[in-house]
């Protein structure tokens, strides 16, 4: 089992993504509520396709998919204060 699948099975990760998914954000005057687990899985899928097209190694593809799962994790700390979530996610 790769790290991507391991993360998706972690109860703590699932709890955090559910918490983030329940937050409501406004971006450019529109409601943006696509920050739950399905968003992260969709970003991971896009990442995989892009890296495959770039002929990345299997390891690089897996790492990219893991990063995709975690790219907004800082929202669990910063909540609706989206502006600093990227730093906290890193």
- pLDDT for 53 equals 98
Residue 80 pLDDT > 60, yes or no? no
| Angle, alpha carbons 28-82-17 (nearest 5°) | 110
Taken in order 34, 35, 38, 42, is the CA torsion positive or negative?
Answer: positive
- pLDDT for 50 equals 98
SS3 assignment, position 70? helix
* Per-residue pLDDT tens digits for 16-29: 999 888 876 666 66
pTM for the full predicted model: 0.78
The residues spanned by each domain of the chain are 3-89
Mean local confidence (pLDDT), 58-73: 93
> Dihedrals φ, ψ of 7, to 5°?
-60, -45
């Amino acid at each position: 089992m790769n790290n991507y699948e391991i993360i998706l099975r972690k109860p703590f990760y699932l709890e955090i993504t559910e918490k983030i998914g329940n937050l409501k954000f406004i971006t450019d005057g529109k409601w943006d509520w696509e920050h739950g687990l399905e968003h992260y899985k969709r970003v991971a899928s896009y990442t995989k396709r892009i890296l495959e097209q770039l002929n990345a190694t299997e390891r690089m593809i897996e790492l990219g998919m893991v990063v995709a799962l975690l790219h907004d994790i800082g929202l669990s700390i910063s909540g609706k204060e989206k502006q600093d979530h990227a730093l906290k996610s890193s």
